Amino acid sequence: MSDRKARYERRQTARSRRDNQSKKALAGNLRALLIKIGAGGAVLAVVVVGVVFFSGSQDILPPTGYGPNHSESLPTQQINTVPIPRPIKSM
């Protein structure tokens, strides 16, 4: 009878230990999730503040002289339009 009782006590102790460990793990996971959400919110706030600041200070910056249709890209047509002649084979 005492053997059954000791085994029951061991099982209950192990079960309570597992429950405590899972509660600690759940709290750690929740803490990590809250930290990630807070960091994401901070990054989002910095981006929003940056966009608002730069769009507000755009009137203060000096003009560049380029119009809105200006783009730094390659020309639309090929510069050299003459075909390249074939090499002549010497025998």
pLDDT tens digits for range 1-54 = 678 888 999 999 999 999 888 888 888 888 889 999 999 999 999 999 998 888
Does residue 12 sit within a domain?
yes
Q: How far is CA 71 from CA 61, 67, 78, in A?
A: 20, 9, 17
Its domain, for residue 20, covers 2-58
Does residue 49 sit within a domain?
yes
Q: Report pTM.
A: 0.43
Count the domains in the chain.
Answer: 1
Residues 6+ apart with CB under 8 A from 54: none
**Per-position DSSP letters for 19-64, written without gaps between them:** HHHHHHHHHHHHHHHHHHHHHHHHHHHHHHHHHHHHHHGGGTSPP-
pLDDT at position 44, please?
A: 96
